[in-house]
Chain A
């Protein structure tokens, strides 16, 4: 088994084996990290990682940059909140970053498919760190790694996602991946926040939390981001809390060993109650540790599969 792609763009086009392979690799990286935190590994020595974030990010970018540095790569970064980067096209900015010698471009962009688009034009490996409402595949792998560490398997698990699936690209990546891995996925949200046709992925759709979480092994609560929504898709946060907040009582329908996850940042008391966040089932804080490991694994695998061969290719041109 190997990961044989130039880029890392989404999970929906990967096979279950490929996803599993990246997770395995991430586990090894985590072992390295935990056993020898102060020491750099040489996997990306001489390589350059560029981060191109056209959309705000607090944690992901840090995590990518640390992962790259742990692997001995040089890190350069361009952050712009403007979609159009002073009128210059994504293609031109991306090609520039490629030309100055980046081997990896980690990009986040507000438009779905933008990383797929840029990948066609650059030699560097593109890593999608979130594109519009489409996917955030590495963030999803962090969730998957966490689930695997605790449940030791995917097959046959029941995973429930509560909240704004429509505007949450991590949730969408999770759906694609979990279905490939043989997981039963229930999604529960106000119908205005459920993307149309999502049932074609094989997920079960619910509108009441209590029904959806019966016998759940894993519950993922999603951040309620009203600012991402066009128009008013729910009447009020108040009503949303009443109908969809995960609290102790609703959690009671799940299995005893259920784990509760949240990709953060959390709105305490809106999508999830404080008791649940701080309760025994919660993995909210522990999840973050896996982020660096997953990203190290992605860099490493892309590097090995022939991505990140930018410098060599250029000398042939």
Chain B
């Protein structure tokens, strides 16, 4: 980066309210010099700095996304590193990750190095890449995880591909225990899900679509919990969608296991009925579940069983959604709605405090991935997000920065309009 230029930049955020995972400070000014926070105080005098007037606005640490798909390299017709970065920036994220199930698969040092340098150049936000667990994400042979760690991966995962062979999973848990990185697993027993695309039950029967039972997820959750416990692995379970999964993870946590898990906005806001009328916008994997599952996910977020909230941004072309339900692609273009959806449905709705939401969308992801972010402290990297807690807006998917300009939340009124995203001390105006 052009360090010389950055050194001259001084940014003063005036009179905002700072929320972090463990404290709230009213009417504070934040002075940023280059990429660092250098001072936090009431009333820092304006000495010809660039100023953001944050009166009535909330300042939180920039969001960190533990589960998203940037689709590049390999699928740049769906999203590119550049558009993913813009989309994340407009969604208030300052650090995103990158699932390895790309083309080529992120399963070796060379591709990690490529990705690191490419994202530094083209992506507006930080990218902490994930390396694959198995070579080509095939679920067979262990990838060169040690090499990839040296090249800079933050965690290992096979993305949305679940490792079917329990022996392979066991070996991975054992092997990875020397790296200290989290092992992120998507939980899906494919012999049960079997390309069945919505939750099995009254709705799948109503629509005449074959469904996947809840156990397609829970069997893998249980298996991975048991294996990780036995082999002392640092397990992180991604996009948890069922009440039963929450219950299983809760019981293992109560016994002292250091497992972490995450969910995504659609799993606590939408249920299987959203698919009525063959609505492909809500075709996701794992599928949307019942209202009782939604309630259990919210409960899990409240009592801390669910550690983090990721966007599960998975962009694709509009043509892949505008088709028959069976043929439609999975996923939601989610960067640009994730925060507001979570803020509206969890904080405004009274389930979580804003501090808790900050913990789940910034502090905890940083802790799990050991990124040393997610805080607003003097000396910390100035990755911040500033939003207006009282300003409502209508989601307009047509204006998304993502290439995937569609959303099941399109047209919906949400709270929490993002005003600025600050990455490495650099101000980005999101909404005036």
Contact = CB atoms under 8 A, between A and B. Distances in A.
B324 interface: yes
A89 B208 contact: no
A90 B211 CA distance: 23
Interface residues of A, number: 25
A103 B319 CA distance: 26
B322 A91 contact: yes
Interface string B191-206: 0001000001111111
Interface residues of B, number: 23
Contacts, number: 68
B208 A131 contact: yes
14 contacts: A89-B319, A90-B323, A109-B324, A111-B326, A112-B208, A113-B208, A117-B323, A133-B209, A172-B205, A196-B204, A196-B213, A197-B202, A197-B206, A200-B202
B13 to A, nearest CB: 48
B4 interface: no
B345 interface: no
B325 A196 contact: no
B216 to A, nearest CB: 13
Contacts of A169: 208
Interface in A228-268: 230-231
B202 A112 contact: no
A230 B327 CA distance: 18
B323 A91 contact: yes
Nearest to B209: A112
Given A116-B277, A133-B209, A196-B211, A111 B324 contact: yes
A299 to B, nearest CB: 24
Contacts of B319: 89
A132 B208 contact: yes
A117 B205 contact: no
B232 interface: no
A130 to B, nearest CB: 10
A111 B325 contact: yes
B329 to A, nearest CB: 14
Interface of A: 12, 89-91, 109, 111-114, 116-117, 131-135, 169, 172, 195-198, 200, 230-231
B203 A197 contact: yes
User: 3 tightest A-B contacts by CB?
Assistant: A134-B208, A197-B202, A113-B278
Most B CB contacts (10 A, CB to CB) among A12, A113, A172, A231 go to A113
Contacts of A133: 208-210
A167 B89 CA distance: 47
A111 B326 CA distance: 6
B207 interface: yes
Most B CB contacts (10 A, CB to CB) among A114, A172, A231 go to A114
Interface string B246-277: 00000000000000000000000000000001
B292 to A, nearest CB: 14
Interface string B114-135: 0000000000000000000000
A197 B201 contact: yes
Nearest to B195: A230
A12 B209 contact: no
B277 A134 contact: no
B291 to A, nearest CB: 14
Given A196-B201, A197-B201, A114 B324 contact: yes
Nearest to A118: B324
Most B CB contacts (10 A, CB to CB) among A117, A198, A200 go to A117
